[in-house]
Amino acid sequence: MSFSDVARRLAGQTALLLGWRPDDYWNSTPAELLAILNAMPRPDEDAADGSMLSALMLQFPDAPTGGE
């Protein structure tokens, strides 16, 4: 696969996955693209479920602001 084939494929994937326009892709550096893609959850990783969300809500409850 040539460089242009890989670049074209990555441009399409960033449009689908990240909502990037072509200029967003072509103006990003390889390091920026890698950092963003590495931050995305992988299919084999555990996704947050209801019990995890409930535990986080208990640990970090919403608190009223503004002196109420």
Which two structure tokens, joined as six digits, stand for 67?
């002196």
Q: What pLDDT is recorded for position 17?
A: 87
Report pTM: 0.52
Could you tell me if 33 and 14 are in contact, meaning their C-beta atoms sit under 8 angstroms apart? yes
| Residue appearing with tokens 């990037």 | 20
Task: For residues 15 and 24, give the distance between their C-alpha atoms in angstroms, rounded to a whole number.
Answer: 9
Q: What pLDDT is recorded for position 56?
A: 79
pLDDT tens by residue, 8-44: 888 998 998 899 999 999 999 989 988 988 888 777 6
CA neighbours closer than 13 Å in the CB half-sphere of residue 62: 3
